[in-house]
Structures are given as structure tokens and as C-alpha cells.
């Protein structure tokens, strides 16, 4: 085949396992043969409307078969897929569409009003809805049924851009990471080696696929291996239990809060979880109490650390090491390399924090139309600068200690919020915690913590401060601990530490 990228996958899977279930959604199942036919019909239909190599095709909607069909149709044409965060405001979406120069916006029917407002700002934008529309707007099903499903084999090289994934923009305007076909493929291979995914996998996808974690760590590896992906539009505790039991889910990805919600539900003690083989957890360290809860049910987490710019896998901790190395992110992915660097460019000693630098075929070449940002993000010898701080022990296991910009200095001592957050998460009452540095007239800066505690095991701030003091140096104990109902979050779901700082006044 001339197509060496993601666009070749539907054809290769259809010829290998044509009758195997590829995608399950709302009780309906499509085989790899059916999925391949729809992808190529969509690609041909888009081509008839003038979409071709290098054009950007955006998608606005929840997890849905249309998302995957659009992604792989773009790969078939040599076009670029741009998944949009459904939590963004119209102004933010407008910026993203302008920045990437999208020609097409495929959108879920629930986002029709937003999509039409975007076209008012970008008149040349072609709108395609995933649901039948009586207003005359083109819909995906009509486009697919009217187009030929003939095999299309465009020459697509591994180094060509497959996706543009926009970062959260915590340091300014969001930047689009240019993920090549090769980046996505090598990341999937890393996962297949390190997680040992098989062709019998039944993978639950209820974390949003517009983030690189769910897409890169579970969805694409499962499809590459020929397993089945179960698409859910949102995370719901009861639905998750139902699907695990009914479809015999073997693999799922989530953030700690998702797994915590499952373990606190009334159904938890009696739920049939026997089919689960892999629980991948990212976004934050898994609290010790949560590890113990799952261990009691015979389940262990595979924890890790990643970033959009690495497609996204960087570090992974195996399930066997989860209980013994609480708070660790693991070792480098198989085909990736990681090193730590001090601010002066030298290598820190064992246990000393340094910035995480990563290289490998899964690391993107740069940002979409941002040459200056690209240059600043890489060292002269081509290693990507993460902006995150970690330590590494003598056995090569890494522990994330925070963002460089989150570190604060109290009384002349460096304080890493992630270290304090990790200790707080060990307390059985703590559900979530975030720590920031705030100005102090005596010490320069001191810590302030925002903590969410569980209802079945309440805790007072004094108890939490004492818990930290027993485990960390006194200068690391936050001067103030606030008990809150929930942590503030940005559009990507990450904790908004700026909001916590602003609350300090």
C-alpha cells in the first residue's frame, strides 16, 4: 500500500479480521469490514467536496463512531484531523479553527448551534452534522451512503501530519502539537509492548477522545491489534459497571477521580469486575488509599506520565509495581528515552529534581505554525523540554514532583507542590488535593492547599496539616488548608491552579 499512515489501518484490519467487532456504540456493533467501508465512503465523499491532502478536518462532539470514521477518513486522504474540546467556549473554538485553518467541521447534533455560530465567523467552513438535519445542512450518514466505498490508496508518508492536538494553553494561547502518522504509530507500538494488549481486548472509552491520553493509550493500540473499542459519550458510574459486566470489558483508561467514583459507589462491593485485565490511570498520581481499595478487589493500576507532544506516552509503571511504588510514574516507554536536566544543563544526582526531557519516534516535531515556540521547546540536540520536574531513583523509576512554574521558594528552600499533594492523597479522607505557592511577608512564599474530602470519612484542616508534618519537612506544610467541594478546573479538565492562587487574594 502507498498509504503508510493511520489511513491504511481500516483496510489492513478488514483484510485480516473482517468479521471481528471493531466498534460498539449504544448497543450497535460494526465489524472491521463495515468500519472500513464507511471510512472509505466518507473519504470519497469528502474528496468529492474538494477535501484533500493537507486540508484540516475538525471534529466537535463526544466519543462517537463518527469521530473515528472522520479521523481515519482524514488519514486516508492525507488530510489532517483536528479534534476539538467540547468544553471550550465559542471564542476559544474560533481561535482554534482560525489557527489550524480548518476547511471542514464535522459536529454532533447537540453542537449544531455552536457550529453555526462558528460558520458565521468563518464563512468558508463546511459543516457536516453527525445526525440527520432537516434544515438542509449536510449530514454524515447521507454523505456516506451517497459516496462509493471503493478502496482509496493515497500516498501518505509516516512523517506527514496526521493530527493537530491543541494543548491547554496554561502559558498563553493554545498551541497545536503536530502529531505525525509515525508519532501515533510508534506510540501505539510502545503501548502494545508495555501493556501487552491482545486481539481479544474489549476496551471501554468513556474518557474524551479529544485528549491524547484516551486516544493514544487505549483506542489506537486496541484498533491496531484488532480488538474492540466500546465508545461512551461520557463517564457515568452505573453505566460503567453495566458495560463492564455485560460486555466483559478488559481494558479501561481513566483519571484518579473516575476510579475513585467507582470505588465509592454502592455497587462497588458486589460488582462483577472479573473481566478487567488492565486499568490505565493518568493525569495525576494514584492515591495510596485508592490503590488499596482496588487491590482488595484483585485489581491493580498501570500508572504513567505523558503529554500531548509525546503522543502521549513517556513513562509507565506496571501493575506489578503499583503497590510497592506508590506515587511513581515508572520507567520510559519501550521506544522512548528520558533524561533529567538541571537549569544549568547538567544531570542531577539520584533523587534530585530535574526537568524531564524526552526523545523518541513518538515525540512530535513541533507546533502548528509556531516556529519560535517549537524552537524553545527543544534542546539543540533534539530533546523535548516538558516543563515538568521529576526525580529518578537508582533503579530508574521516576517520580513527578511538579511543574517548573509551580515550584515555589519558601525561606530559601525549593518546594514542589506535587510532593505535598502526593502525601495528602495518602490520607484516607482526601479525595483530591492541589497545592500552590502564595506570597508571604516573612518567608517569601508559603503553600496553600485546596482539599476535597470524602463524606464517609471527614477530616479537619488541623488533622491534615499534622498528617503532612509527620511525613515532610516543616517548611513544606501549607500555611493554609481550605476544604472545598471541588477543585477549580479549566476546559481540558486539569486543575486550575491560577484560580486557587486568585482565591488567595
Residue 58: helix, strand or coil by DSSP? strand
The share of the chain scoring above pLDDT 70, in percent, equals 97
Which string of b and e fits 444-479 if b means at least 16 CB within 10 Å? ebbbbbbbbbeeeeebeeeebbebbeeeeeeebbbe
The rounded mean pLDDT for the chain is: 93
Helix, strand, coil shares of the chain, percent, nearest 5, are 35, 25, 40
CA-to-CA distance for 205 and 189, rounded, in angstroms? Answer: 19
- Average pLDDT rounded to a whole number, residues 302-318: 96
The percent of residues above 90 in pLDDT, for the chain, comes to: 81
In SS3 terms, 141-173 reads as HHHHHHCCCCCCCCCECCCCEEEEEECCCCCCC
Confidence band (pLDDT; 50, 70, 90) for 276?
very high
- Compute the distance between CA of residue 237 and CA of residue 262 in angstroms, rounded to an integer: 6
- Other CB atoms within a 10 A radius of the CB of residue 151 amount to 15
CA–CA dist 393, 350 (Å, integer): 6
Mean pLDDT of 96-117: 96
Q: At what angle do helices 417-426 and 288-295 cross, to 10 degrees?
A: 40
DSSP single-letter state for residue 402: E
In tens, the pLDDT along 196-213 reads: 999 999 999 999 999 999
pLDDT tier for residue 134 given thresholds of 50, 70 and 90: low
Q: Are 486 and 503 in contact (CB under 8 A)?
A: no
Task: Kindly indicate the confidence band of residue 163, based on its pLDDT and cuts at 50, 70 and 90.
Answer: very high
How far, rounded to the nearest angstrom, does the alpha carbon of residue 276 sit from its chain's CA centroid? 21
Mean pLDDT of 133-153: 88
As a whole number, mean pLDDT of residues 283-299 equals 88
pLDDT surpassing 80 at residue 493: no
DSSP letter at 385? E
CA proximity to 432, closest of 353, 489, 503 = 489
pLDDT level of residue 139 (50, 70, 90 thresholds): very high
CB distance 323 to 283 below 8 Å:
no
* pLDDT over 90 (residue 322): no
Question: For residues 291 and 326, is the Cβ–Cβ distance under 8 A?
Answer: yes
- Which set of grid coordinates corresponds to residue 273? 469486575
> What is the DSSP pairing of strand 251-254 with strand 278-281?
parallel
Domains of the chain with CATH codes: 6-12+32-157 (3.40.50.980), 187-361+371-403 (3.40.50.12780), 407-504 (3.30.300.30)
Q: What would the pLDDT profile of 209-265 be if each residue is shown by its tens digit? A: 999 999 999 999 999 999 999 999 999 999 999 999 999 999 999 988 899 999 999
What secondary structure, in 3-state letters, does 221-258 show?
Answer: HHHHHCCEEEECCCCCHHHHHHHHHHHCCCEEEECHHH
CA 372, 377, 381 angle in degrees (round to 5)? 105
Between CA 314 and CA 218 the distance in angstroms is 14
pLDDT, one tens digit per residue, over 45-95 is 999 999 999 999 999 999 999 999 999 999 999 999 999 999 888 988 999
pTM: 0.89
pLDDT digits (tens, 9 = 90+) for 341-398: 999 999 999 999 999 999 999 999 999 999 999 999 999 999 999 999 999 999 999 9
Q: Could you tell me if 434 and 421 are in contact, meaning their C-beta atoms sit under 8 angstroms apart?
A: yes
Residue 323 is predicted with a pLDDT of 85
pLDDT of residue 223: 98
Give mean pLDDT, residues 398-404: 90
Closest CA to 22 of 86, 65, 71: 65
Beta-bridged to residue 24, according to DSSP, are: 29, 230
Amino acid at each position: 500500500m502507498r498509504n503508510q499512515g493511520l489511513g491504511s489501518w481500516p483496510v489492513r484490519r478488514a483484510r485480516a479480521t473482517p468479521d471481528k467487532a471493531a466498534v460498539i456504540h449504544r448497543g450497535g456493533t460494526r465489524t472491521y469490514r463495515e468500519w472500513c467501508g464507511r471510512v472509505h465512503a466518507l473519504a470519497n465523499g469528502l474528496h468529492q467536496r474538494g477535501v484533500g491532502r493537507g486540508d484540516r478536518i475538525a471534529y466537535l462532539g463526544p466519543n462517537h463512531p463518527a469521530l473515528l470514521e472522520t479521523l481515519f477518513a482524514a488519514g486516508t486522504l492525507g488530510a489532517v484531523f483536528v479534534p476539538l474540546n467540547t468544553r471550550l467556549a465559542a471564542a476559544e473554538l474560533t481561535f482554534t479553527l482560525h489557527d489550524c485553518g480548518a476547511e471542514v467541521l464535522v459536529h454532533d447534533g447537540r453542537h449544531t448551534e455552536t457550529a453555526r455560530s462558528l460558520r458565521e465567523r468563518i464563512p468558508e467552513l463546511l459543516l457536516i452534522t453527525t445526525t440527520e438535519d432537516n434544515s438542509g445542512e449536510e449530514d454524515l450518514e447521507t454523505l456516506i451512503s451517497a459516496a462509493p466505498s471503493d478502496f482509496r490508496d493515497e500516498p501518505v508518508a509516516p512523517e506527514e501530519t496526521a493530527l493537530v492536538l491543541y494543548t491547554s494553553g496554561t502559558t498563553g494561547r493554545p498551541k497545536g502539537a503536530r502529531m505525525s502518522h509515525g508519532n501515533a504509530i510508534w506510540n501505539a507500538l510502545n503501548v502494545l509492548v508495555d501493556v501487552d494488549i491482545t486481539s481479544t481486548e474489549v476496551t471501554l472509552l468513556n474518557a474524551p477522545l479529544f485528549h491524547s491520553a484516551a486516544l493514544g493509550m487505549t483506542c489506537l493500540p486496541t484498533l491496531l491489534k484488532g480488538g474492540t473499542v466500546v465508545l461512551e459519550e461520557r463517564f457515568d458510574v452505573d453505566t460503567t459497571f453495566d458495560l463492564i459486566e455485560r460486555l466483559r470489558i478488559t481494558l479501561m483508561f481513566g483519571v484518579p477521580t473516575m476510579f475513585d467514583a467507582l470505588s465509592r459507589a454502592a455497587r462497588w462491593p458486589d460488582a462483577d469486575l472479573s473481566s478487567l485485565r488492565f486499568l490505565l490511570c493518568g493525569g495525576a498520581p494514584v492515591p495510596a488509599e485508592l490503590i488499596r481499595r482496588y487491590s482488595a478487589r484483585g485489581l491493580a493500576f498501570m500508572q504513567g506520565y505523558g503529554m500531548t507532544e509525546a503522543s502521549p506516552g513517556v513513562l509507565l509503571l506496571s501493575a506489578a509495581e503499583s503497590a510497592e511504588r506508590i506515587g511513581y510514574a515508572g520507567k520510559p516507554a519501550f521506544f522512548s528515552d528520558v533524561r533529567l536536566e538541571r537549569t544549568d544543563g547538567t544531570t542531577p544526582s539520584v533523587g534530585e529534581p530535574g526537568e524531564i526531557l524526552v526523545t523518541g519516534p513518538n515525540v512530535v516535531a513541533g507546533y502548528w505554525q509556531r516556529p519560535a515556540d517549537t524552537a524553545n521547546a527543544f534542546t539543540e540536540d533534539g530533546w523535548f523540554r516538558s516543563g515538568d520536574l521529576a526525580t529518578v531513583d537508582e533503579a530508574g523509576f521516576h517520580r513527578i514532583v511538579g511543574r517548573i512554574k509551580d515550584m515555589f521558594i519558601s525561606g530559601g528552600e525549593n518546594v514542589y507542590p506535587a510532593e505535598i499533594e502526593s502525601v495528602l492523597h495518602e490520607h484516607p479522607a482526601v479525595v483530591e488535593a492541589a497545592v500552590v505557592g502564595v506570597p508571604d511577608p516573612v518567608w517569601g512564599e508559603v503553600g496553600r492547599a485546596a482539599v476535597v474530602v470524602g463524606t464517609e470519612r471527614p477530616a479537619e484542616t488541623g488533622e491534615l496539616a499534622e498528617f503532612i508534618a509527620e511525613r515532610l519537612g516543616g517548611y513544606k506544610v501549607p500555611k493554609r488548608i481550605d476544604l472545598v467541594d471541588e477543585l477549580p478546573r479549566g476546559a481540558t479538565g486539569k486543575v486550575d491552579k491560577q484560580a486557587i492562587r486568585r482565591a488567595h487574594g
